Homo-oligomer: A and B are copies of this chain.
Amino acid sequence: MKVGIVGAGSIAFGAAAYLENAGHRAMLWSPSGERTKRLATGEALIASGALEGTFHPAVAGSAQQLVEANDVLMIALPGYGHKAVMDAIAPFIREGQAVLISSHASFGALYLNRLLAERGIVVPIVAWGTTVTTGRQPSLVEAQVNTVRSKVDVATVPESLSAEGLSVCQTLFGDRFVQRDGILAIALSNLNPQNHMGIALCNMTRMEHGETWPQGLNVTPNVGRLLEELDRERIAIAEALGLKVRDIFEHFHLSFHVPKDSVSAMNQEMHREGRGGTGPATADSRYVTEDVPFGLLMTVKLGELTGRPAVLHDAGVRIFSAMYGRDFAAENTLLDAIGMSDLSLERLRQLARDGFEVSTEARAAS
């Protein structure tokens, strides 16, 4: 299949390498064009690590070109870029195309669904709970792929197109997808925001000094307890919604193959085994700039809607905003764009299932 990838960072490069390696065709589009300029001149993309090879993904000069030239679209950039790229691609999407969001944040699937509904169009929009690949981008022609995950949670908006959405994922990336019970479950299955909140708060001066610091080692007992309490807030919201999600203990146990213990003890064990990773070496990290406005804030909003206030998540949004001199709550334009603050829980559940009502006038005109 031909896949148009929106974004040109480490996840977009990893996806391009994966797809080309699997016999599909990948085309990259970077809104600024900066990150694709070397590939656009014909240089090869060299993948190393969990996936090796030399590839020649195409480069799109515009959103329109990307959408028109491909069968499937994949959004692969941080949550703070989602609204702008959805605005850019939505006018050109046609019936029959699928859109994959890797990974989904702050109900972006609903926002894109609404843009399309206003045009009278419905396509499967597949929300991924996390990325298929992890890695870094040593240069603008290299993809260092650290992991290809064996399990990725997915849900499709509208749910009536779930089978189609899942099929596209499997065709492109193989048998690694777990169908979840809607995008509310996807939203609450992502533990990064809460975990990154505790880790970043308690290691902030290490980040600002640009230290190289072992992350597992620095999930100390106090950090671990904070993460466990944050997790209780998330679980309480999931329970109120009747959704079953993994708790933080299962998360670390399953993702990192360490015996179940306190969160701090599991991280210390990961560190001893050399698998604890390193923490961000700059305050300008997605641990904060993406996860606070597009992760913590979303949990706060779901807490309000379900009557299970996420007070620690809210405390994080406020403290990071003070630290950075930014109003992180205001930076999330996706939640505003779907009218989150005016939605009832019932309406949100219905939107998550069915998507926005399609404009019949627009459908007739399209």
Residues of A at under 8 Å CB distance from B?
Answer: 201-206, 208-209, 218, 220-223, 225-226, 229-230, 283, 311-312, 314-316, 318-319, 322-325
Closest residue on chain B to residue A317 by CB atoms: B315
Q: What is the interface of chain A mostly: helix, strand, loop, or mixed?
A: helix
Contact B322 A312 (CB under 8 A): yes
Give A218 to B206 CA distance when docked, in angstroms: 9
Contact A225 B322 (CB under 8 A): yes
A318 and B315 contact, Cβ closer than 8 Å, known pairs A208-B222, A324-B222: yes
Chain B nearest CB, measured from A296 CB (Å): 12
Residues of B within 8 A of A230 (CB): 322
Residues of B within 8 A of A206 (CB): 205
Contact B226 A319 (CB under 8 A): yes
Give A4 to B222 CA distance when docked, in angstroms: 39
A223 and B323 contact, Cβ closer than 8 Å, known pairs A201-B201, A203-B205, A204-B202: yes
Residues of B within 8 A of A318 (CB): 311-312, 315
Residues of B within 8 A of A204 (CB): 201-203, 220, 222-223
Contact B220 A209 (CB under 8 A): yes
Which among B202, B218, B322 is the interface contact of A226 at CB below 8 angstroms?
B322
Closest residue on chain B to residue A218 by CB atoms: B205
Residues of B within 8 A of A223 (CB): 204-205, 323
Chain B nearest CB, measured from A220 CB (Å): 4
Contact A283 B208 (CB under 8 A): no
Residues of B within 8 A of A225 (CB): 322-325
Residues of B within 8 A of A312 (CB): 318-319, 322
Give A266 to B311 CA distance when docked, in angstroms: 33
In the A-B complex, the 9 residue pairs with the closest CB atoms = A315-B315, A229-B322, A202-B204, A222-B323, A208-B220, A205-B218, A226-B323, A226-B322, A205-B220
Give A318 to B317 CA distance when docked, in angstroms: 13
Give A218 to B205 CA distance when docked, in angstroms: 6
What would 5 A/B residue contacts be, using CB atoms closer than 8 Å? Answer: A201-B201, A202-B202, A208-B222, A223-B323, A315-B318
Which among A209, A220, A230, A283 has the highest number of chain B CB atoms within 10 Å? A220
Closest residue on chain B to residue A318 by CB atoms: B315
Closest residue on chain B to residue A202 by CB atoms: B204
Chain B nearest CB, measured from A210 CB (Å): 11
Chain B nearest CB, measured from A329 CB (Å): 12
**Other than the known A205-B206, A209-B220, A315-B318, what 7 A-B pairs have Cβ atoms closer than 8 Å?**
A204-B223, A205-B220, A208-B220, A222-B283, A225-B324, A312-B318, A316-B319
Chain B nearest CB, measured from A319 CB (Å): 5
